[in-house]
């Protein structure tokens, strides 16, 4: 179908705006609908960046960029690709949290997302057809909005996380924006302020749970699979009681991925390997403490555990290296309300003389002397000076990753961690942090955010249309981020910088595609070629 006239200008995939040439303007019946001077893409980028820079707040900058995206996808991604480091916190986390919390009030545009309601399940197929409009969909990011970052249940407003994650796929790894689809499953919300808000745009009822909920998810997955058989299905920010269930249900059947469980596991393992590369210690010598053992915490724990087993420990030996702390304190085998993902990593009370006192982080740190402390608790400021100095008293280079997002929920600030450990801590944070000066050294802080890895992982998997996402492919991704940072530099970061995201996304993509070929999960033969063939670039 050929779009002309206003239909062409209003199609954000095809629109070139002022870059339409004189001939194109004539051919497409848009002569006179644009100012006469024909701009290049670079000139458009310059102009857009000037506009962007004149906005005072991250929120205003984000809104400007979303408008630009809705006008002209090519220009948006060209601009994004030239300023990845600067735009990531605006397009994505942490600013995205503000737009999710205020979605129904800020609302201007549905941004080509599919809004699927548990109350209108007969519409699922029609919605997916309407929104894709004949496009060949290869990537869906779907959320049900129950566990958005660390800010909880935001119902249909969570759709912005699907939109934002997809933007990072394209900016970081060159996923073709015409081939993607953001989806929100609206099963209700338990946030009372939304239910009471007349302007709330989602279903005004509490979350539907149990069989009806899982059947809804099933119906969506089945319909999407039928319509888009080559699709890579990315689940994002589902609630703690559903995320792992859903992943376990589909991961051996279709090409699917849970970002909070698997993506976070990969990037945290990569960060730990980067830290050990600096301290020259072995993974199998580490004592690991997860503070907050929910979707991400348990997902990371399993990935680090698997890595220890790969490095030669038996499962029983490896398990002894792990401690989980959640709301109840240190998790024991007799603790109430354990999740299935926590159970394999619980401890026995008989291991401690003061087991009943191990109900807070500091007491646990005192008792178990962790060398690695990872925070996915959503509890800000919980890595206190007391906790950290106690940890640092028993290990030379403590590895400390406060990963809770957005910024306001981080367990600690990087500069405090450096101060409290006299510059010894090896740190990664969930959100971007400026380098920290301490005692004459500039410390670069790695960002252990799954955004550093899910784009490359997805692109590689899609490039070869792998049957499933295997543990081997996941493992390959985790080991693909080394070798970029020079670990001998004082203040070196544990992970490569976001400014090189496009570069290392390609390393991840090719590594993952090759792994799929090696495991015979695809008919493709040449990983590099397959990745090059599928990669999209923003140009006219
Ligand atoms: N950096 C990243 O890439 C990344 C990825 C995923 C999640 N996260 C962050 O991790 C956090 C958790 O996300 P999730 O999806 O695992 O959520 P979740 O709700 O599944 O898990 C949070 C866990 O923290 C526990 N918790 C709550 N209060 C606690 C307390 N006082 N002490 C100890 N534990 C407590 C909860 O019981 C739950 O088990 C969020 O802030 C999220 O933004 C970061
Ligand atoms: O979205 C992010 O920034 C990372 C992660 O998926 C999260 O839920 O916090
Ligand atoms: Mn997430």
From the CB of residue 14, how many other CB atoms can be counted at a distance below 10 Å?
Answer: 16
CB neighbour burial string for 342-365, b if at least 16 within 10 angstroms, e if fewer = beebbbeeeebeebeebeebbbbb
Phi-psi region of 452 (alpha: psi -120 to 50; beta: other; left: phi over 0): alpha
Report the separation in Å between the CA atom of 195 and the middle of ligand 1, taken as the mean of its atom positions: 24
Of 234, 259, 376, 410, best ligand 1 pocket probe by most atoms within 8 Å of the beta carbon = 376
From the CB of residue 32, how many other CB atoms can be counted at a distance below 10 Å?
Answer: 8
Cα 288 to the chain's mean position, in Å? 23
Q: Which residues in 352-480 belong to E strands, given as ranges?
A: 372-375, 399-402, 426-429, 436-438, 441-443, 446-447
Residue 252 in tokens = 């051996």
* pLDDT confidence band for 492 (50 / 70 / 90): very high
Is 237 labelled a binding residue?
A: yes
Q: What is the pLDDT of residue 1?
A: 76
Report the separation in Å between the CA atom of 149 and the middle of ligand 1, taken as the mean of its atom positions: 8
User: How far is Cα 338 from Cα 342, in angstroms, rounded to an integer?
Assistant: 6
pLDDT one-digit tens code per residue, 307-350:
999 999 999 999 999 999 999 999 999 999 999 999 999 999 99
The atom of ligand 1 lying closest to the CA of 403 is 1
Q: Is 165 a catalytic residue?
A: yes
Report the separation in Å between the CA atom of 348 and the middle of ligand 1, taken as the mean of its atom positions: 24
Give the residue, by CA position, lying nearest to ligand 1 atom 31. 327
ipTM score over 0.90, yes or no: yes
Residue 54 in tokens = 């004149």
Q: Which ligand is located closest to the Cα atom of residue 150?
A: 1
User: How far is Cα 495 from Cα 83, in angstroms, rounded to an integer?
Assistant: 19
User: How far is Cα 303 from Cα 273, in angstroms, rounded to an integer?
Assistant: 12
Report the separation in Å between the CA atom of 129 and the middle of ligand 2, taken as the mean of its atom positions: 29
The atom of ligand 2 lying closest to the CA of 449 is 4
Give the residue, by CA position, lying nearest to ligand 1 atom 22. 294
Q: Is the CB of 237 under 6 A from ligand 2?
A: yes
Q: Stretch 356-383: mean pLDDT, rounded?
A: 98
Is 186 labelled a binding residue?
A: no
- In this model, does residue 396 exceed pLDDT 90? yes
* pLDDT confidence band for 483 (50 / 70 / 90): confident
Residue 147 in tokens = 């566990």
User: How far is Cα 135 from Cα 251, in angstroms, rounded to an integer?
Assistant: 25
**CB 59 within 8 Å of CB 47:** no
Return the percentage of the chain with pLDDT > 70, whole number: 100
Q: Do domains 95-254 and 262-449 have the same CATH topology?
A: yes
Q: Stretch 7-22: mean pLDDT, rounded?
A: 97
Q: Is the CB of 411 under 6 A from ligand 2?
A: no
Q: Which class for 479: exposed (0-12), middle (13-18), buried (19 or more C-beta within 10 A)?
A: middle
Residue 185 pairs in a beta bridge with: 116
Cα 100 to the chain's mean position, in Å? 15
Q: Is the CB of 469 under 6 A from ligand 2?
A: no
User: How far is Cα 467 from Cα 456, in angstroms, rounded to an integer?
Assistant: 17
Q: Is the CB of 405 under 6 A from ligand 2?
A: yes
From the CB of residue 537, how many other CB atoms can be counted at a distance below 10 Å?
Answer: 10
Q: Where is 440: in which H helix or E strand? A: none
- In this model, does residue 101 exceed pLDDT 80? yes
Q: Is the CB of 326 under 6 A from ligand 2?
A: no
Q: Is the CB of 409 under 6 A from ligand 1?
A: yes
The atom of ligand 2 lying closest to the CA of 403 is 9
pLDDT one-digit tens code per residue, 413-442:
999 999 999 999 999 999 999 999 999 999
First to last CA, the chain: 19
Q: Is the CB of 259 under 6 A from ligand 2?
A: yes
Q: Does domain 262-449 have CATH number 3.40.50.720?
A: yes
**CB 311 within 8 Å of CB 275:** no
Is 260 labelled a binding residue?
A: yes
Q: Stretch 507-534: mean pLDDT, rounded?
A: 98
Question: Strands of 256-258's sheet, edge to edge?
Answer: 114-117, 180-186, 139-143, 232-235, 256-258
Q: Is the CB of 268 under 6 A from ligand 2?
A: no
Give the residue, by CA position, lying nearest to ligand 2 atom 3. 93
**CB 363 within 8 Å of CB 377:** no
The atom of ligand 2 lying closest to the CA of 404 is 9
Q: How many helices (H) and strands (E) does the chain have?
A: 23, 14
Q: Which ligand is located closest to the Cα atom of residue 236?
A: 3
**CB 234 within 8 Å of CB 140:** yes
- In this model, does residue 498 exceed pLDDT 90? yes
Q: Stretch 532-538: mean pLDDT, rounded?
A: 98
Is 190 labelled a binding residue?
A: no
Report the separation in Å between the CA atom of 518 and the middle of ligand 1, taken as the mean of its atom positions: 35
Residue with tokens 């919300």: 189
* pLDDT confidence band for 501 (50 / 70 / 90): very high
Of 520, 276, 251, nearest in space to 399 by CA: 276
From the CB of residue 21, how many other CB atoms can be counted at a distance below 10 Å?
Answer: 11
* pLDDT confidence band for 147 (50 / 70 / 90): very high
Contacts of 272 (CB under 8 A, 6+ apart): 283, 286, 304, 372, 399, 401, 494
Of 154, 161, 259, best ligand 2 pocket probe by most atoms within 8 Å of the beta carbon = 259
Q: Is the CB of 260 under 6 A from ligand 2?
A: yes
Q: Is 408 a catalytic residue?
A: no
Residue with tokens 């779009």: 3
Q: What is the pLDDT of residue 325?
A: 98
Q: What are phi and psi of 110, to 5 degrees?
A: -75, -5
Helix H, strand E, coil C: the string for 174-212 is CCCHHHEEEEEEECCCCCHHHHCCCCCCCCCCCCCCHHH
Q: Is the CB of 93 under 6 A from ligand 2?
A: yes
Q: What is the pLDDT of residue 384?
A: 98
Of 276, 287, 275, 243, nearest in space to 262 by CA: 243
Of 474, 399, 414, 448, nearest in space to 268 by CA: 448
Domain 5-82: which topology?
Answer: Hemocyanin, N-terminal domain (1.20.1370)
**CB 116 within 8 Å of CB 208:** no
CATH superfamily placement of domain 95-254: Malic enzyme, N-terminal domain (3.40.50.10380)
Domain locations along the chain: 5-82, 95-254, 262-449
Residue 380 in tokens = 């800000």
pLDDT one-digit tens code per residue, 160-190:
999 999 999 999 999 999 999 999 999 999 9
3-state class percentages of the chain: helix first, strand second, coil last, to nearest 5 = 50, 10, 40
Q: Which of 16, 78, 138, 165 is catalytic?
A: 165
- In this model, does residue 137 exceed pLDDT 80? yes
User: How far is Cα 531 from Cα 170, in angstroms, rounded to an integer?
Assistant: 13
The DSSP result for 7-21, as a single string, is HHHT-TTT--GGG--
Residue 290 pairs in a beta bridge with: 324, 374
User: How far is Cα 169 from Cα 463, in angstroms, rounded to an integer?
Assistant: 13
Q: What is the pLDDT of residue 108?
A: 87
Residue 432 pairs in a beta bridge with: none
């Amino acid at each position: 179908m050929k779009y002309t006239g206003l239909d062409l200008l209003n199609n954000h995939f095809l629109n070139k705006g002022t870059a339409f040439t004189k001939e194109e303007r004539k051919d497409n019946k848009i002569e006179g609908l644009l100012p006469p001077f024909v701009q290049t893409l670079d000139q458009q980028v310059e102009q857009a960046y000037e506009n962007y820079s004149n906005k005072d707040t991250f929120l205003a900058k984000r809104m400007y960029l979303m408008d630009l995206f809705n006008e002209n996808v090519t220009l948006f991604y060209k601009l994004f690709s030239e300023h990845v480091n600067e735009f990531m916190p605006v397009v994505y986390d942490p600013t995205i949290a503000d737009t999710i919390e205020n979605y129904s009030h800020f609302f201007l545009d549905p941004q080509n997302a599919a809004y699927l309601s548990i109350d209108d399940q007969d519409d699922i197929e029609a919605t997916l057809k309407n929104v894709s409009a004949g496009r060949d969909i290869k990537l869906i990011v779907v959320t049900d909005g129950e566990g958005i970052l660390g800010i909880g249940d935001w119902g249909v407003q969570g759709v912005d996380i699907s939109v934002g994650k997809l933007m990072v796929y394209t900016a970081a790894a060159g996923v073709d924006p015409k081939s993607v689809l953001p989806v929100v499953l609206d099963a209700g919300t338990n946030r009372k302020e939304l239910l009471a808000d007349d302007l709330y745009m989602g279903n005004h009822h509490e979350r539907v749970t149990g069989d009806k909920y899982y059947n809804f998810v099933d119906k969506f997955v089945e319909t999407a699979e039928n319509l888009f058989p080559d699709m890579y299905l990315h689940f994002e920010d589902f609630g703690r009681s559903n995320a792992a269930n859903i992943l376990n249900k589909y991961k051996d059947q279709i090409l699917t991925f849970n970002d909070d469980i698997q993506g976070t596991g990969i990037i945290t393992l990569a960060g730990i390997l980067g830290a050990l590369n600096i301290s020259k210690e072995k993974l199998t010598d580490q004592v690991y403490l997860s503070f907050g053992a929910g979707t991400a915490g348990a997902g990371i724990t399993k990935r680090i555990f698997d890595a220890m087993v790969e490095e030669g420990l038996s499962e029983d030996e490896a398990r002894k290296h792990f401690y989980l702390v959640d709301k109840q304190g240190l998790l024991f085998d007799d603790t109430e309300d354990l999740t299935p993902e926590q159970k394999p990593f619980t401890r026995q009370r008989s291991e401690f003389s003061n087991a009943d006192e191990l109900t807070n982080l500091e007491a646990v740190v005192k008792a178990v002397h962790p060398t690695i402390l990872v925070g996915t608790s959503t509890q800000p400021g919980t890595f206190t000076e007391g906790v950290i100095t106690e940890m640092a008293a028993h290990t030379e280079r403590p590895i400390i990753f406060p990963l809770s997002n957005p910024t306001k929920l981080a367990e600690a600030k990087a500069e405090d961690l450096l101060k409290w450990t006299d510059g010894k801590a090896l740190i990664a944070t969930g959100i971007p942090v400026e380098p920290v000066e301490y005692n004459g050294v500039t410390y670069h802080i790695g960002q252990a955010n799954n955004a550093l890895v899910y784009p490359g992982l997805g692109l590689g998997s899609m490039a070869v249309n792998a049957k499933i996402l295997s543990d081997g492919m996941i493992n390959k991704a985790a080991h693909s981020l080394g070798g970029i940072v020079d670990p001998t530099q004082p203040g070196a970061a544990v992970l490569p910088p976001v400014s090189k995201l496009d570069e290392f996304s390609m390393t991840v993509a090719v590594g993952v595609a090759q792994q799929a070929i090696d495991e015979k999960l695809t008919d493709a033969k040449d990983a590099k070629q397959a990745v090059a063939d599928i990669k999209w670039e923003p140009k006219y």
